[in-house]
Amino acid sequence: MSENTTIRWEQDESGVVTLVLDDPNQSANTMNQAFKDSVTAVADRLEAEKDSVRGIIFTSAKKTFFAGGDLKDMIQVGPAQAQQAFDAGMAIKHALRRIETLGKPVVAAINGAALGGGYEIALACHHRIALDAPGSKIGLPEVTLGLLPAGGGVTRTVRLMGIADALLKVLLQGTQYSPKRALDNGLVHEVAVSTEEMLAKARAFIEANLTSQQPWDIKGYKIPGGTPSNPRFAANLPAFPANLKKQINGASYPAPRNILAAAVEGSQVDFETAQTIEARYFTELVTGQISKNMIQAFFFDLQAVNSGASRPQGIAPRPTRRVAVLGAGMMGAGIAYSCARAGIEVVLKDVTPEAAAKGKAYSAALLDKALSRGRTTEAKRDALLALITPTADPADLAGCDTVIEAVFEDVSLKHKVFQEIQDVVGPDALLCSNTSTLPISLLSEGVSRPADFIGLHFFSPVDKMPLVEIIKGERTGDEALARAFDLVRQIKKTPIVVNDSRGFFTSRVIGQFINEGVAMLGEGADPASIEQAAAQAGYPAKVLSLMDELTLTLPRKIRNEARRAVEEAGGTWAGHPSDAVIDRMVDEFGRTGRSGGAGFYEYADGKRAGLWPGLREHFARPGTKIPFLDMQERMLFSEALDTVRCFEEGVLTSVPDANIGSIFGIGFPGWTGGVIQYINGYEGGLPGFVARSRELAARYGERFAPPALLVEKAEKGERFN
């Protein structure tokens, strides 16, 4: 074996070979070239020394068992490297298959996270024992990066669990299981509480399976639940894509479709052919643009954002211990829950004790639901609830080191509540507002310590939404920014940092998306086609339905305020083609959105009940033909172009923050890799994007004209970064 091996061979007197995954050049094991060579060499040696081998244990010397594919390499693989990528994958698969079919028992002693390639190594073993280590995760999350598990993952999960379970439990969602849940769902056979126990169990399996009928012999696997060659199964097959519609997630995501195809086609052939099919579908994905977008966003950008690239350096962390949440409405209640979940004491204040108690009851309801689903224990629920003190008395806020305000969206009210509490809370308490539209610099005028004042924009529902937008006002200090950043991480959310502006980054940009959808209605487009265009583009919410959720009156209010500000500054208000549609909806038809019981949609018992037929009657003009691609790209471009303007205006300063903020905050389609990656990855690169913007501008209005910053970068042949 070469000097450079990433797999250490340790053989004991009884003949059990422990293969220790331990790449000497990296902190984690990955499926790189060195691993390919090592696993091939190990397979050669096992075959050569077979007679002296009693059984085999795969384990690792790293904190994680095995990290999976090397994403730094994968993001570089272009069509020219397709054959190479295919061959490398096949070589690893052949080596694992040779070990699996050697005729000796093989056990995976999974000592830490085994995701992707790591779990695929474990799948090639006959028995899987997971150590119940904290934070340890098991699964095949490739789909979340636009890929499929091509180390035998599709082929083996289908053969171990049957097609339906393999797709639903493992392949299509990319679920990452804790060791215990992995056991419950059949991904591993046993869980151990210590390394010693894990290795003892591994040896016990080997001893118990030396001579019995081997399930891994050359005949290979039999697929549970049937294959398409079984007529009953075959009859159901055509319905697969329809039944899996939710998991397959729209036309914009090729990975789920390729996984489905690899699973179904692979189930009808022998094991080796199935592995080749899997590799072919993988190669198509890894050489394409979408996996690159997704790897960039969900791995590299997310890591950059969470690791503090936008946090000021050199400021010592000061964890939040006691937080005052002002306003126990929808947002305040959710913020209180998220803070308590991280072990922070919360004083939840509203105008009356009843309103405050109602805010706390929200946490109780969430916890009761979790309890009924076995996701928490009574003791944990009670401990968490004990951290939340509801009150109407400002004096109870004494000793709070952080304040998060979430009262009604009204400048003078916000000024008033800060006045009321700023001398009660700790003398250097961090002062945050959860406003979604009001300028932070304006709000900070109401407090005596504007340097400690900052925007902390949560998204609804707070307990589910992973993003928090931090907004620096003109006078916000670096210390406040660092503390706000740390607080967001403390409650396990992802912080992006932006500078103050009307609507900041997220609310402003999502406004463009909504306005564009509504503008098309004004042009006479068929309402159902508009909704379909948003879905096809990969947006999680259709555009008109989203507007109904937000209400139609909100954009009017925002628009009027913005208009006043522009006019007061001596400018002329340009307006947007959507304005007239919204005005008619509200003034003429009295339809203000879901909360008003009627909007672009009809509602019955609070549930959406189809598009309002009046839309066709009053707005649609038969004969209006907006090409379907234009409809989709108008939505995507309107957001992308406004994001570029945010960079021009200094609202945004970080590309990873923009990408992550757009996907996690406002539902920009994940396949794009985020709003700036969408521009970078557009066909023809930046010049292609600029040319298409000009085309849209000529057809639909000057709002699509490419901003100077973009044109400049395109001319210089740069990417946006």
Does 407 help bind ligand NAI (rule: CB under 6 A)? yes
Q: 255 vs 335, which CB is nearer to ligand NAI?
A: 335
Mark 492-521 with x for binding to ligand NAI (rule: CB under 6 A) and - for no binding. ------------------------------
Q: 641 vs 663, which CB is nearer to ligand NAI?
A: 663
Sign for the CA dihedral angle at 573, 574, 579, 580 comes to positive
Q: How many Cβ atoms from other residues are within 10 Å of residue 541's Cβ?
A: 18
Q: Are 342 and 319 in contact (CB under 8 A)?
A: no
Cis peptide before 540 (omega within 30 of 0): no
Q: 465 vs 711, which CB is nearer to ligand NAI?
A: 465
Smallest gap, in angstroms, from Cβ of residue 360 to ligand NAI? 12
- Binding residues among 319-358 for ligand NAI as defined by CB under 6 A: 326-332, 349-351, 355
Considering only residues 166, 339, 406, 546, which one is a binding residue for ligand NAI as defined by CB under 6 A?
406
Rounded to an integer, what distance in angstroms lies between the CA atom of residue 585 and that of residue 587?
6
- Binding residues among 234-253 for ligand NAI as defined by CB under 6 A: none
Residue the block writes with tokens 């384990």: 59
Q: 329 vs 577, which CB is nearer to ligand NAI?
A: 329
Q: 5 vs 435, which CB is nearer to ligand NAI?
A: 435
Smallest gap, in angstroms, from Cβ of residue 155 to ligand NAI? 45
Q: What single letter denotes the amino acid at residue 90? A: M
Structure tokens that stand for 145 in this block: 């990066």
- Report the catalytic residues: 120, 142
Smallest gap, in angstroms, from Cβ of residue 521 to ligand NAI? 24
Q: 131 vs 328, which CB is nearer to ligand NAI?
A: 328
Q: 258 vs 435, which CB is nearer to ligand NAI?
A: 435
Q: Are 397 and 424 in contact (CB under 8 A)?
A: yes
Considering only residues 275, 422, 434, 512, which one is a binding residue for ligand NAI as defined by CB under 6 A?
434
Using the rule CB under 6 A, give the single segment among 401-409, 535-543, 565-573, 650-658 that binds ligand NAI.
Answer: 401-409
Give which of 310, 594, 553, 517 is closest to 437, Cα–Cα. 553
Q: 113 vs 514, which CB is nearer to ligand NAI?
A: 514
Q: What single letter denotes the amino acid at residue 182? A: A
Structure tokens that stand for 353 in this block: 């004790």
Judging by beta carbons within 10 Å of its beta carbon (0-12, 13-18, 19+), is residue 139 exposed, middle or buried?
A: buried
Does 458 help bind ligand NAI (rule: CB under 6 A)? yes
- Binding residues among 29-68 for ligand NAI as defined by CB under 6 A: none
CA distances from 467 to 312, 455, 564, 660 (A): 19, 13, 31, 8
Does 223 help bind ligand NAI (rule: CB under 6 A)? no
Q: Are 686 and 720 in contact (CB under 8 A)?
A: yes
Does 394 help bind ligand NAI (rule: CB under 6 A)? no
Does 408 help bind ligand NAI (rule: CB under 6 A)? yes
Nearest-CB residue for ligand NAI: 329
Q: 171 vs 328, which CB is nearer to ligand NAI?
A: 328
Smallest gap, in angstroms, from Cβ of residue 410 to ligand NAI? 8
Strand ranges for 354-393 from DSSP E: 388-391
Give which of 212, 92, 232 is closest to 149, Cα–Cα. 92
Q: 394 vs 524, which CB is nearer to ligand NAI?
A: 394
Does 417 help bind ligand NAI (rule: CB under 6 A)? yes
Show Cβ contacts of residue 415 under 8 Å, excluding neighbours closer than 6 positions. 443, 445, 446
DSSP letter for 213, please. Answer: P
> Cα angle at 423 between 418 and 429, to 5 degrees?
75
Does 681 help bind ligand NAI (rule: CB under 6 A)? no
Does 442 help bind ligand NAI (rule: CB under 6 A)? no
Using the rule CB under 6 A, give the single segment among 175-183, 213-221, 309-317, 458-466 that binds ligand NAI.
Answer: 458-466
Judging by beta carbons within 10 Å of its beta carbon (0-12, 13-18, 19+), is residue 605 exposed, middle or buried?
A: exposed
Does 409 help bind ligand NAI (rule: CB under 6 A)? yes
Using the rule CB under 6 A, give the single segment among 310-318, 376-384, 406-414, 477-485 that binds ligand NAI.
Answer: 406-414
Smallest gap, in angstroms, from Cβ of residue 298 to ligand NAI? 24
Does 436 help bind ligand NAI (rule: CB under 6 A)? yes
Residue the block writes with tokens 């990290």: 67
Q: Are 397 and 418 in contact (CB under 8 A)?
A: no
Smallest gap, in angstroms, from Cβ of residue 359 to ligand NAI? 7
Smallest gap, in angstroms, from Cβ of residue 507 to ligand NAI? 8
Smallest gap, in angstroms, from Cβ of residue 590 to ligand NAI? 22
- Binding residues among 105-144 for ligand NAI as defined by CB under 6 A: none
Q: 187 vs 328, which CB is nearer to ligand NAI?
A: 328
Does 425 help bind ligand NAI (rule: CB under 6 A)? no
- The DSSP code sequence of 617-666 is HHT--TT----HHHHHHHHHHHHHHHHHHHHHTTS---HHHHHHHHHHHH
Smallest gap, in angstroms, from Cβ of residue 436 to ligand NAI? 4
Give which of 566, 567, 540 is closest to 666, Cα–Cα. 540
Rounded to an integer, what distance in angstroms lies between the CA atom of residue 334 and that of residue 704?
37
Q: Please work out the total of residues on this chain that contact ligand NAI, with binding judged by CB under 6 A.
A: 24
Smallest gap, in angstroms, from Cβ of residue 711 to ligand NAI? 34
Q: What 3-state class would DSSP assign to 115?
A: strand
Does 677 help bind ligand NAI (rule: CB under 6 A)? no
Q: Are 77 and 70 in contact (CB under 8 A)?
A: no
The number of C-alpha atoms within 13 Å of 170 and in the hemisphere containing its C-beta is: 33
Q: Which long-range contacts (CB under 8 A, 24 or more apart) does 629-633 make?
A: 630/696, 630/699, 630/700, 631/520, 631/525, 631/529, 631/530, 631/533, 632/533, 632/534, 632/536, 632/537, 633/537, 633/692, 633/696
H-assigned helices in 538-576: 543-550, 553-568
Smallest gap, in angstroms, from Cβ of residue 435 to ligand NAI? 5
Q: 207 vs 393, which CB is nearer to ligand NAI?
A: 393
Smallest gap, in angstroms, from Cβ of residue 537 to ligand NAI? 23
Tell me the CA end-to-end span of the chain in Å, nearest whole number: 43
Does 435 help bind ligand NAI (rule: CB under 6 A)? yes
Residues contributing to the site for ligand NAI (CB under 6 A): 326-332, 349-351, 355, 406-409, 413, 417, 434-436, 457-460
